[in-house]
Amino acid sequence: MDYPPLSDYGIIGNDDRCALVSRQGSIDWCCFPHLESPSVFAAILDANRGGRFAVSPAADHESSHRYVDRTNVLETTFETARGQATVTDLMPMTPDDEAGRFQRAIYRKLECDRGRVELDVAFEPRFDYARIRPTFERTDEGILARRDDERTDGIDDLLVLSGDCEFSIDRTDSTVTATAPIEAGEQRWIRASYGDPTPPSVDHDRVLDETKRYWREWVGGRRECPESIPERWHEMVVRSELVLKLLIHHDTGAIPAAATTSMPEAIGSDRTWDYRYNWIRDAKFTVQALHSTGHEREGREYFDWFVDVAKTDPEQITPLYGLHGDAGDEITERVLDHLEGYRGTGPVRIGNGAATQKQLDVYGTIVQAIYETIRFGEDVDVDDETWQSICAIVDYVCDHWDERDAGIWEFRGEHRHFLYSKLLCWVALDRGIELAETGDLRAPLARWKESRSAVRDAIETRGYSESADCFVQYFDGDDALDATALLLPIYEFLPPDDDRVQSTIDAVIDRLTTDDGLVVRFVDTDVRRDEQKAFLLCSFWLVDALVLSNRVERAREYFENVLEYASPLGLYTEKVDPETGQLLGNFPQAFSHLGLINSVTYLTRTLETEGDVDSADFQPENVQALFRRANASDVDDR
């Protein structure tokens, strides 16, 4: 079987689970009961073995898909010679759910728009990352699919398939099939429910209406587009918000980097990682994006999550965490040899070895996120326990900032004095000092200030290359250039108009950037060979740095170009091939969507000021209301 391009996929989901649906109507990735649980459908990782839940016409056809306006409800339309049908896919969001009984389900509405269409249904669950084929039995509820091995962990993996179809069981192939002929005006419903052999009876149309209403109310009803920005920017921000909400874990507030594992950074590359974890480094950008789009509740829940992390012994703080709190050695990276990987690119990995890496940037990220949340106007109570935790982190940075680490890009087996890690150590010290001084809180300020000066001196003397005329990837790195140098003005280490900042931006444009504004992460480094694929977040960083530099025309040009690399549904992966436009990496990528939201915030503020900009214009208190021009009660059910 073929592998659709990632641009052919849409995502549906609810509080802590997601599914990827191809333009051909096949659900090729879904994990139950949670996003980080083992998969039940994984055809995206092995088209023959992984399992899928497909609905598509038996006849030759053309297909397209779109989201129902301002929702995460996906419609796939099929056109055949005899008619047109639409499959509507959702995971329900209902106000009267009982302990998730409704939510652990996939609903599929089959509807004929004109003529007559015969739809084929193929239900092929494969439990535990396709290591376990199910047994099937007919019950009063439908077809019960259950894993056929004995478990000792108390989890009962099962799916119940029900609907308005005559289902046939092929026990040899462990597949359930059906044919659903429908004529104009007719509709059928199919549902796959996880974990409950007797799922509750529901009114499917009511669930659909409530789910659409939920998403529209969450995103802000008929939220108007600010007059100063193009409608397309606004639409992309709304889609990015909806993607982030799908990824947010409703119990903990944690946000995984992506919904998938092992989507390769390049076809044929062995760089295939599990991204279903929350990386600490995302905190600043997440806080900024959630607050600037008006989602204070999610911002506060995320704040509570990383404050809990901050209360850990600094020595034990790790780069990434599971969505339910596991960390460090609890996260074991393993290879699934029985799966071939997307388009034959393996290995397929679960878990992530970076969980035990030493990454000094995490400390600055935590302090910055707390600092920024407070500046957004949140009624945050920095109690004594929280402040002591911050002090412990800043003290730890004083003692360890001059050590080598794996860096933001998580180089395995290669530790250096990476510029970005030192920058974030400076951020931890600088923001800690400001919190202490503005809050009149007790702290060893003399020690902190001495360390802050030492870090600054090291960055300016060893992190800047006179020969290359730019800041470099690691201390004394000569020509090694890394896109993280763009963050120096964004984190306010240097003013945007500093000559060294401007020459670094020019170097990034000259050496890392395509004509379309796509930015690769690094070049001319001996840490790892140069990358050929563009990293989308870095492309948005360049936009932000250009805006701060009053180079707004170039920033807008690049931003418009990068928008062209989104999927037809407005979704981003981690990387893109600049030559072909092929989307690469795990999908959809939270970091990319965060970058888009924040770049629109920067650009919008510039357009609203209609003149030269100053970095003060981009402080939290000045950007948080840019997209709150909504009449939240103005919601429809169409």
> What is d(CA 456, CA 624) in angstroms, rounded to the nearest whole number?
30
Q: Write out the two tokens for 357.
A: 């890496």
Concatenate the DSSP letters of all residues of 509-552 into one string: HHHTB-TT--B-SEES-SSSPPP-SEEHHHHHHHHHHHHHTT-H
pLDDT in the model for residue 98 = 55
Largest CA-CA distance found in the chain, in angstroms, rounded: 79
pLDDT of 636 > 60? The answer is no
Give mean pLDDT, residues 218-236.
79
Phi/psi of residue 365, nearest 5 degrees: -60, -45
Closest CA to 572 of 89, 214, 247: 247
The domain limits of the chain are 6-219, 231-623
Query: Can you give the pLDDT at residue 624?
Result: 35
Position 325 confidence tier, pLDDT thresholds 50, 70, 90? confident
CB 488 within 8 A of CB 505: no
* Sequence-distant (≥ 6) Cβ neighbours of residue 216 within 8 angstroms: 69, 70, 71, 635, 636
For the domain made up of 6-219, give the CATH fold.
Beta-galactosidase; Chain A, domain 5 (2.70.98)
Model confidence at 284, pLDDT cuts 50, 70, 90, reads confident
Give dist(CA 583, CA 565) in Å, integer.
8
Q: Is 137 left (phi over 0), alpha (psi -120 to 50) or beta?
A: beta
Task: Look at residue 519 in the predicted model and tell me its pLDDT.
Answer: 98
pLDDT at 635 (0 to 100): 35
Better-predicted residue by pLDDT, 423 or 225? 423
**Phi/psi of residue 108, nearest 5 degrees:** -130, 115
C-alpha–C-alpha distance, residues 528 and 522, integer Å: 9
pLDDT at 625: 35
More confident residue, 201 or 542: 542
Spatial separation of the C-alpha atoms in residues 85 and 87, rounded to whole Å: 7
> Which CATH architecture fits 231-623?
Alpha/alpha barrel (1.50)
| Mean pLDDT, rounded, of the chain | 91
- Mean pLDDT is lowest, of 62-76, 295-309, 474-488, 490-504, for 295-309
What pTM was computed for the model?
A: 0.93
